[in-house]
Chains A and B, each alone.
Chain A
């Protein structure tokens, strides 16, 4: 744990606790009033509860040049970032990909190369749709470990994090309440639905929340589409390609559109917002991750649009390469924020009501 970061976060938290003007913005401020002294785990908890809406920064009477020099969203972002990297395994890899957008791009190129290679080497004799280029068995052999191993690594990290912030055995009510908060992105609504202070500085805007909702629900729809395909394949022996009114397409097409548009929106907002109010050192890695996530949607849609054309093998390699890179890098990119945030919302429910 970085003692410097925690100490600075503690200094700022104590000033906030003596002021409390920001109580109405999000869950962080009511949470910090529970304590007079803050243990390291309390600081990590607050840091992961913060959604970086920045309302507190633009309202703060103590930001630089004031000698208190508060920049609460930035220090919480630093602590949060450090907590993800500290709990990740292998740790150096996490720091590398979180920070370095070029590394993410390089991984993507490697993913493309691998898929192009597989398509060349393992081209099946027969098959329909994209199975004409890569068999179902080959895809499963590649993606099953590429999906499960990163998730297993992330699960181990989350367990350690859960202990650090003092999480206890879950109750159903806590899951429901945390789920509601996440589903509505309550902590990005500015407290009254006016939104946050991101790309328009001290003016409120709800754009970030809407784009993030598009990404989150788009991603979940795409995931549901893949799951539906898996079930159709194994349970009902219905194999791809699926028609436009099949479950995988009905879920996947809107999902892909939402995911692509949402990521494009978030990337655009990110270019407008002040990097000094977040974890500035990971700006590049975050941007690369948003683009990578958007590319999973965009390449998927392109692949579907190209059905029956000569572009299919190329687009198949691009899409599967993107998806593969996304999954393999999952424990080492911004993607972890969703898991850590949800764990934190659960813990916050416990701390509020127990």
Chain B
């Protein structure tokens, strides 16, 4: 990085390089501000977790772009209440929901292209607008738009300290090209994500089991800025010990496995632990409503690992997996392939099969086909595992994001106990805990990032103008 590129004075420095950061940088640059983006990732990995996203949950009062029918504020809010069990800040949540409708045309005007719902996701065609090419295409479009607006982007720039004096942000320090640089700006937007990629922090918060968790997204969300702000007394929201975790393919890479590591086979399987024992009702509900609890269930098992076993009857009932499953003609053989004890897995399968009863099987709805006389029961889709070849998938816990974040106002302003910091704003995952205190709603992270990114950009620009 040349010194020229970093030469100030900057009106606004944006910390982070994902969706929220870009929305704020673009908004501020359009308002005439001189904007610097500091992205900690190298260029190929720019964009944080936005790289892995695929859609945007959007309120709309009638058909809008690729979205069908309508999705009103109250229905949207009810969906949020359902997943968060009330752990949300209603005014901020309603602000995000209401603003989402005007965001979609804004996104299109800034280079984002949408496409009709992807195959296998028809249930979202009314509520979620899918990005053509996925989140990385969105990130590329925004970087191009920002570049055209004269925004300067520095990659591999890790912000280590954001300096506050009283109720003002004054400057920040960043590691760039092996040196610590001091960068002054008249306002700052923090959009640097959560701390899920810092395994040490995760294990301190969650417990030692977290060392075995896989991180579904970017390895660059290490929470350095979040920690720095906490140390300086900024107000927080969200449970500091919790993260959103789902059950994913156990063979996924430690970081950045993204969408392809999901496994949709659980409802048609039995899931056993390292000792070959079942531990939970695999057929409790349809998978989109249950994949999140399975992250926790697997995390509670020895070695934080599970094994889903299905037979030939079920192999075509779910989306293909990224790696081929283990496959064998007998349960014992499959167990050996997966490192399990053959006899105990065979016993578990036999007990399960003996508890299955006849009845209609409907893979796409709750069919009530439950077991009788086995613990735990499987309450839907309980068919015997009896038709070779048998298939096995290893399951591990995959962390999507952490809930701990900065408390912000409806102007996206960061607060300390003394009140708002006048020229410091936050957007995206770093403040999402305000609205999403628990659970997750598909496409809502991008909504929060876009809405609050734009608010932060607008407010920061208003502050410097």
Binding site for B on A (CB under 8 A): 14-15, 17-25, 30, 33, 36, 55-56, 58-68, 191-192, 194, 202-203
| Shortest Cβ distance from A60 into B: residue | B136
**Distance (Å) between the CB of B315 and the closest chain A CB?**
8
Residue pair B132, A25 in contact (C-beta under 8 Å) = yes
The interface residues of chain B lying within 8 Å CB-to-CB of A23 are: 115, 118-119
Is A24 touching B54 in the complex (CB atoms < 8 A)? no
CB contact between A19 and one of B130, B256, B260, B315 (< 8 Å): that residue: B260
- B409 beta carbon closer than 8 Å to chain A: no
Pairs across A and B, CB under 8 Å, 6 listed = A14-B324, A55-B137, A59-B136, A61-B135, A65-B45, A66-B44
> Number of contact residues on B: which range applies?
35 or more
CB of A194 within 8 A of CB of B316, answer no
B259 contacts partner chain A, Cβ-Cβ < 8 Å: yes
Residue in B120, B133, B140, B316 with the greatest tally of chain A CB atoms within 10 Å: B133
Is B244 part of the binding interface, using a Cβ–Cβ cutoff of 8 Å?
no
Minimal beta-carbon separation of A42 from chain B (angstroms): 13
B165 CB to nearest A CB, Å = 40
Instruction: For B137, list chain A residues within 8 Å (CB).
Output: 21, 55, 58-59
Closest Cβ–Cβ distance, residue B124 to chain A (whole Å): 13
Contacts of B180 in A (CB 8 A): none
Given contacts A21-B133, A21-B134, A61-B135, 9 further A-B contacts (CB under 8 A): A15-B322, A18-B262, A19-B259, A30-B119, A55-B137, A61-B256, A62-B258, A62-B260, A202-B140
CA distance A68 to B324 in the complex (A): 14
Q: Are B136's CB and A24's CB within 8 A? A: no
Contacts of B316 in A (CB 8 A): 36
Contact A17 B320 (CB under 8 A): yes
Given contact pairs A61-B136, A61-B258, A36 touches B119 in the complex (Cβ within 8 A): no
Take A20-B118, A30-B119 as given contacts and tell me if A66 and B256 are in contact as well, using a CB distance cutoff of 8 Å.
yes
B253 sits at the interface (CB 8 A)? yes
Q: Verify if B51 is at the interface (C-beta below 8 Å from A).
A: yes
The smallest beta-carbon distance between A351 and chain B, in angstroms, is 15
A20 partner residues in chain B, CB cutoff 8 A: 118-120
Residue pair A56, B324 in contact (C-beta under 8 Å) = no
* Least distance between A145 CB and chain B CB atoms (Å): 48
A21 B118 Cβ-Cβ under 8 A = yes
Complex: A55 Cα to B315 Cα, angstroms:
31
With A65-B44, A67-B253 known to touch, is A203 a contact of B144 (CB < 8 Å)? yes
Q: What A residues does B260 contact at CB under 8 A?
A: 15, 18-19, 62
Name the residue on A nearest B254 (C-beta): A67
CB–CB B132/A191 < 8 A: yes
CA distance A22 to B115 in the complex (A): 10
What is the CA–CA distance of A306 and B292 in the complex, to the nearest angstrom?
76
Complex CA distance for A21 and B115, rounded to whole angstroms: 10
Q: Which residues of A contact B256 (CB under 8 A)?
A: 61, 66
B133 pairs with A22, CB closer than 8 A = yes
Q: Which residues of A contact B181 (CB under 8 A)?
A: none
Assess whether B321 is interfacial by the CB under 8 Å rule. yes
**Which residue of chain B has its CB nearest to the CB of A33?**
B119
Does A24 lie within 8 Å of B115, measured CB to CB? yes
Question: Which chain A residues lie closer than 8 Å to B322 at the CB level?
Answer: 14-15, 18-19
Determine whether B411 belongs to the interface, using a CB cutoff of 8 Å to chain A: no
Kindly state the separation between the CA atoms of A192 and B113 in the bound complex, as whole angstroms: 9
